[in-house]
Amino acid sequence: MQTNVPLWRQIQKENFHSMNALMDFLELSSELRLHVLSSSHFPLNLPRRLAEKIQKNSLNDPILRQFVPLIDEQIESFKFVLDPVQDKEFCKTPKMLKKYKGRALLVTTSACAMNCRFCFRQNFPYETKDKSFEKEIELLKEDDSIEEVILSGGDPLSLGDGALSSLFSMLELIPHIKRIRFHTRFPIGIPERIDASFLSLLASCSKQIFFVIHTNHPKELDQDVLGVLRKVLRLGIPVLSQTVLLRGVNDEEEVLLSLCKTLVNGGIIPYYLHQLDPVQGASHFEVSDEKAVSLVRFLRENMSGYGVPSLVREEPYRLSKTPLQA
């Protein structure tokens, strides 16, 4: 193995990108292979550690369903569109969105540790040539109503520590920016990303950091994942979680309860349970509002209040996420 490349980058190179290789690895029967798409506009990208958690010769595994393109994606539904949250309407630059008061979101990269089949940004016109944030930093400097910058993407942890460090340095110089929020799924697939270098970068930042992970099923949260998130918590950085409610993945009372308990036992606050953003190809994941509300009611009846996420939906042009009553 090369030594000048961080371990997490070397591990990332082992991600599955070939459907045939993955189907062989999962020992899928020829009958089950008929339900898998051999190619997709949003390509397969699956870390090996997640693939290793998938039950062999089954299409019902909650991890498989999140990452492997199935023929269900070809179901057409008028409600499911290319840009369900109208991201393009809110772009101040190709890499900066401004939706809610006091906050701006940087689309830091197009890359992710894994490609989720239900990703609402899978058709986003990512700017891939200009990797600088000069224009965005200028806009942030000019608008002193912005107190919080959300690092999103793609996944901001796809950036190397050098790029993140230079972004931090620029944000440090803007006094009205008080908080930096990470939105990441990286630790679920490649926990090695949270290494000593990244932790020291977090520790060196004078702004208050919030670290928000995206996790949908308790199977994603093993001791390695919880262990690295504990290291982030030990820096005094709050770790929260966001979950997307997905049919066939986590739309069962006991699954969601186990997810929330695993999170809070790891010191992580369940923040949001999102109703699915209706992106084209994801209609098979839809859960009715009625069922979503009933699932959250069950959580509330079985968990401490701080362990119950807010059930919300994103509706374009609203001033905040829309809460669903539970």
In the sheet with 208-214, reading across from the earlier edge strand, the strands are 91-93, 96-97, 103-107, 148-152, 179-184, 208-214, 239-244, 269-274, 310-313, 322-323
Work out whether 214 is an interface residue with ligand SF4 (CB under 6 A).
yes
Work out whether 50 is an interface residue with ligand SF4 (CB under 6 A).
no
**Residue environment code for 3-30, b if the CB has 16+ CB neighbours within 10 A, otherwise e:** eeebebeebbeebbeebeebbebbebee
Work out whether 185 is an interface residue with ligand SF4 (CB under 6 A).
yes
Which of 128/265 has CB closer to ligand SF4? 128
Which of 1/68 has CB closer to ligand SF4? 68
Q: Which stretch binds ligand SF4 (CB under 6 A): 4-12, 84-92, 110-118, 168-176?
A: 110-118
Task: Indicate the angle between helix axes 161-172 and 134-142, nearest 10 degrees.
Answer: 20
Work out whether 268 is an interface residue with ligand SF4 (CB under 6 A).
no
Work out whether 54 is an interface residue with ligand SF4 (CB under 6 A).
no
Work out whether 119 is an interface residue with ligand SF4 (CB under 6 A).
yes
Q: Which stretch binds ligand SF4 (CB under 6 A): 27-35, 54-62, 153-161, 198-206?
A: 153-161
Q: In the set 36, 44, 51, 116, which binds ligand SF4 (CB under 6 A)?
A: 116
| End-to-end Cα spacing for the chain | 51
Q: In the set 121, 193, 217, 274, which binds ligand SF4 (CB under 6 A)?
A: 121
Q: Under the rule (CB under 6 A), what is the footprint of ligand SF4?
A: 112, 114-116, 119, 121, 153-155, 185, 214
